[in-house]
Copies of this chain bind each other. A is one copy, B any other.
Amino acid sequence: MLQDNKTEITRKIGCGYEVVRIGVRDLAKPRSLPSEVFTNELETIVNDPTIDVVLELIGGIDPAGALVEKAILNGKHVVTANKELIAKHGSRLVELAKSKGLDLHYEAAVGGGIPLVQPLKHQLAGNDVLKMMGILNGTTNYILTKMQVEGSEFASALAEAQGKGYAEADPTNDVDGFDTAYKISILASIAFGKQVPMDGVHREGIRSITKTDMQYADLLGYCIKLLGVVQPTEAGKVLVRVHPTLLPKAHPLASVNGVYNALWVHGDFVGDVMFSGRGAGSEPTASAVIGDLIDVGRNIMAGGGGSAIPYGTGMQTSSIDELTTAYYLRIQVTDKPKVLGVIATVFGDHGVSLAAMEMKTLDQGRGEIVFLTHPCRERSFCESLKELSATNTIETVCNWFRVESAVA
């Protein structure tokens, strides 16, 4: 990108640029640039006094974290795509950069090529964010789209994603929601002005979703997406959560399919705004990194680096128990009189009211029932479920998911 679009990028920065050094693991691998540009001694880059800006595209904490910190201490602006580093150490590093009049940009850390970080920091900055929901992981969205469109089970959709290179051999980081958790916590930290501790993020992955759940969801007018969601609770606290969610098909996020990512933001003045595009891949990532680099360059030319808003640490997070939302529940029961009555009574006793139901008869005198509840407290729903499980009316609690009931 720096080569292909050099003329325009130079015009936009207002001065030329030179790729001084590229740190790589394997020096022997054939490359398209002159070999003297490459080094496998990464420290030499962050210590090189001729270098103004360091782009960190290693990922993970070690050695990326120490290198970024060293680069800043040595007076270099940094552009990084490292979501884990920013999610865990963003507050400290941004503060450090600002104290030295330097920029630390990380647009590519969330949503690949989609502008999310900077619009939230800048154009939407005047809003109190009332809710944000994002499809922030392309791998899981690809898998869920496959399951939805082709009726596949999770395992085969995962295998297909692995075959296409969308999922790694060990898919934990994606399918168990870690990647989404890093990203939503970064966005939450920007929107609410304090770093969200990773252990304050409620996280569930998509392994438990079955084809059957997908089909019931579809029947009821929903799709299932892995969402990162953040919303303010009591003064100064936020609830940050990552889990599969039933989303009404009419919701703008519901039509974000395949490897696409999107963020939906509801602000007190702007109303709802949505951003979507390719959330991963080398070219979209390059787009975000070079966008940040152009900003750094322009700030250098204008003499105004370090305009980042530092954010403190220790954002207080609410427990998922405090959540009020609607629920999807799929259970199997033994077909006998009064089953439905018992279930409805238990829910009613906990103040959980039912919004929709689907029933079908299975083999051998068993039945399957799916409920959608009206919004209720998570605690009430879970207590109902516990009490129901203790009765002998329910054979199996197959699955339950949270449901977004409306657009705003």
A123 touches B115 (CB 8 A): yes
**A122 pairs with B294, CB closer than 8 A:** yes
Q: Is A243 part of the binding interface, using a Cβ–Cβ cutoff of 8 Å?
A: no
How would residues 283 to 307 of chain A score, 1 for a CB under 8 Å from any chain B CB and 0 otherwise?
Answer: 1101110111111001101111111
In the assembly, what is the distance between CA of A193 and CA of B101, in Å? 29
User: Which residues of the partner chain B approach A40 to less than 8 Å between Cβ atoms?
Assistant: none
Interface residues of A (CB under 8 A from B): 1, 4-5, 8-9, 11-12, 14, 101, 107, 113-115, 118-119, 122-128, 193, 252, 255, 267-278, 281, 283-284, 286-288, 290-295, 298-299, 301-307, 309
Q: Which residues of B contact A304 (CB under 8 A)?
A: 299, 302-305, 307
For this complex, 22 residue pairs linking A to B, each with C-beta atoms less than 8 Å apart, are A4-B128, A4-B268, A5-B126, A5-B128, A8-B128, A12-B125, A14-B309, A114-B270, A118-B123, A123-B288, A123-B292, A126-B291, A126-B294, A127-B287, A269-B286, A270-B287, A271-B281, A271-B283, A273-B277, A298-B309, A303-B303, A303-B304
Q: How far is the CA of A5 from the CA of B298 in the complex (A)?
A: 30
* Contact between A269 and B126, CB atoms less than 8 A apart: no
Q: How far is the CB of A310 from chain B (nearest CB, A)?
A: 9
A297–B127 CA distance with the chains assembled, in angstroms: 16
Q: Determine the distance from Cα of A309 to Cα of B5 in the docked complex, in whole angstroms.
A: 16
**Which residues of B sit under 8 angstroms from A293, Cβ to Cβ?**
126
Residues of chain B within 8 A of A287, CB atoms compared: 123-124, 126-127, 267, 269-270
Closest-by-CB residue of B relative to A291 is B123
A-B residue pairs, 7 tightest by C-beta: A304-B304, A126-B290, A273-B277, A115-B123, A113-B270, A270-B287, A123-B291
Residues of B within 8 A of A271 (CB): 113, 277-278, 281, 283-284
Q: Say yes or no: B274 contacts A275, CB within 8 Å.
A: yes
Q: How far is the CA of A193 from the CA of B12 in the complex (A)?
A: 9
Query: Which residues of B lie under 8 Å from residue A309 when comparing CB positions?
Result: 11-12, 14, 298
Tell me the bound Cα distance from A309 to B294 in angstroms: 11
Residues of chain B within 8 A of A273, CB atoms compared: 113-115, 275-278
Task: State the CA gap A12–B252 with chains docked (Å).
Answer: 29
State whether B193 touches A291 (Cβ < 8 A).
Answer: no
Known contacts A9-B126, A118-B118, A271-B284; 7 further A-B pairs (Cβ under 8 A): A14-B309, A113-B270, A122-B291, A270-B277, A272-B278, A273-B278, A302-B304
List B contacts of A284 (CB < 8 A): 269-271
> In the assembled complex, how far is the CB of residue A270 from the closest CB belonging to chain B, in whole angstroms?
4
Nearest Cβ in chain B — how far from A98, in angstroms?
9
Instruction: Collect the chain B residues with CB atoms within 8 Å of residue A286's CB.
Output: 126, 269
Q: How far is the CA of A193 from the CA of B294 in the complex (A)?
A: 15
Q: Tell me whether A118 and B122 are in contact (CB under 8 A).
A: yes
Chain B residues near A291: list those with CB within 8 A: 122-126
Among residues of B, the one whose C-beta sits closest to the C-beta of A277 is B273
Q: Look across to chain B and name the residue whose beta carbon is closest to the beta carbon of A292.
A: B123
Q: Enumerate chain B residues within 8 angstroms of A306, measured Cβ to Cβ.
A: 302
Q: Which residues from chain B contact A274 at a C-beta distance below 8 Å?
A: 274-277
* Shortest beta-carbon distance from A95 to chain B in Å: 13
Give min CB distance, A257 to chain B, whole Å.
10
Q: Which of A277, A283, A292, A301 has the most CB of B within 10 A?
A: A277
Query: Taking CB as reference atom, which chain B residue is nearest A108?
Result: B123
| A269 neighbours in B (Cβ, 8 Å) | 1, 5, 113, 283-284, 286-287, 290
* Shortest Cβ distance from residue A171 to the other chain B in the assembled complex, whole angstroms: 23
| Interchain nearest-CB distance for A108 vs B (Å) | 10
Q: In whole angstroms, what is the CA distance A269 to B277 when docked?
A: 12
A305–B252 CA distance with the chains assembled, in angstroms? 37
A27 to B123, CA, bound (A): 31
Let me know if A193 and B126 touch, CB within 8 A. Answer: no
